[in-house]
Structure 1
């Protein structure tokens, strides 16, 4: 057996090991992550974040309460402890959790402890939900930065994540729906009704007043 013959199996084994490591690395790099936030009306939060590059999708739902499988009527009536929330799925190779949290703080009024804009009550309060110490540290950094930039006390809590319940089907992608519905503005397609609601609620006006040019979604 020549030296070349001896080295071939070694080289082949090394190449196979390298390929396995590269494949494992690629699989880990491509794993999506989730971020759950409450920012008032979940239609608006879903609409804002689904347009962010690197976000794979957003689901409106309920979390933070004590009732299993809550309905919209139960949550909006109050007493369940649930927030209207949105679970954002994102590619961490394309957008970071820190970036998403920075956008979140600048898309809401984090100084308001009683709700958001025209929507009042416990279900419309802001919050960030975290699953581990790493996520909590990132959220705390984003909150501290937002408070420093705004120059006002931020009351948005950072809470331990509990079970997330997707909202009813008609709430999902409401902002771009084409179903004809009857609203206080008259008969409208869902997308038009959403825009009318958002404007009437004063969301963008208040966010722009607070954050100025740093408001990422005002007018969306």
Structure 2
């Protein structure tokens, strides 16, 4: 059975795992750091800034069950694609929204999806999520993996920081 990978950054990686993890065809969702210039960064380094990295998730999936295009659509619905300076209560470059693409096929799919969203009229502000070449992905410390399962109460607080309401207001229509 073949596997593909997708990497998305959409604010706190804790909030980005569950929507993908619970979808058919997903083999693994890992929290980590990517897009920067520091090798093997720690959570504290990324959180402090200056590494160039953003919190992201790397999704391993079975393309015969779920397509990359499907994953991009799920991604949009977890984020505010009009906010380039973070996501919800998480502010700063390390929380910027990015679709990291591994090849020209992923780039074309992501760009077509972004263009369709921009032309849909769903948002009045411009779609500012960037599409960037994938860089090395560094898996985050173990306590960050599957955080939504480990600490459901903390996850409720994270989602209460504006993400849940934004999703309901803008994506559940």
Q: TM-score range with shorter-chain normalisation?
A: over 0.9
Give the match for residue 81 of structure 1. 52
Distance 2:170 2:158 in 1: 20
Distance 1:104 1:197 in 2: 17
Q: TM-score, normalised by structure 1?
A: 0.75
Runs of 4+ in 1 over 4 A off after TM superposition: none
Give the match for residue 211 of structure 1. 171
- CA deviation profile, 1:145-183 (whole Å, cap 9, x unmatched): 222222431100000111000000000011101xxxxxx
Distance 2:131 2:67 in 1: 18
Per-residue deviation, 1:55? 1.0
How many residue pairs get matched?
Answer: 171
Are positions 1:194 and 2:151 aligned together? Answer: no
Distance 2:10 2:82 in 1: 12
More helix by share: 1
Larger Rg: 1
- CA deviation profile, 1:110-155 (whole Å, cap 9, x unmatched): 0001100011001111000111111110110111122222243110
RMSD after superposition: 1.1
Of 133, 146, 165, which aligns to 2:138? 165
Q: TM-score, normalised by structure 2?
A: 0.95
Distance 1:146 1:55 in 2: 24
Of 90, 94, 103, which aligns to 2:65? 94
Distance 2:149 2:123 in 1: 35
Per-residue deviation, 1:208? 2.0
Are positions 1:175 and 2:135 aligned together? Answer: no
Per-residue deviation, 1:57? 1.3
Residues 85 and 91 of structure 2 are in contact (CA less than 8 Å); yes or no, is this contact kept in structure 1?
yes
Distance 1:52 1:43 in 2: 16
Residues 3 and 63 of structure 2 are in contact (CA less than 8 Å); yes or no, is this contact kept in structure 1?
yes
Specify every segment of 5 or more residues in structure 2 that has no aligned partner in the other structure, as ranges.
none
Give the match for residue 6 of structure 1. none
Q: How do 1:46-125 and structure 2 match up within 5 A?
A: 46-125=17-96
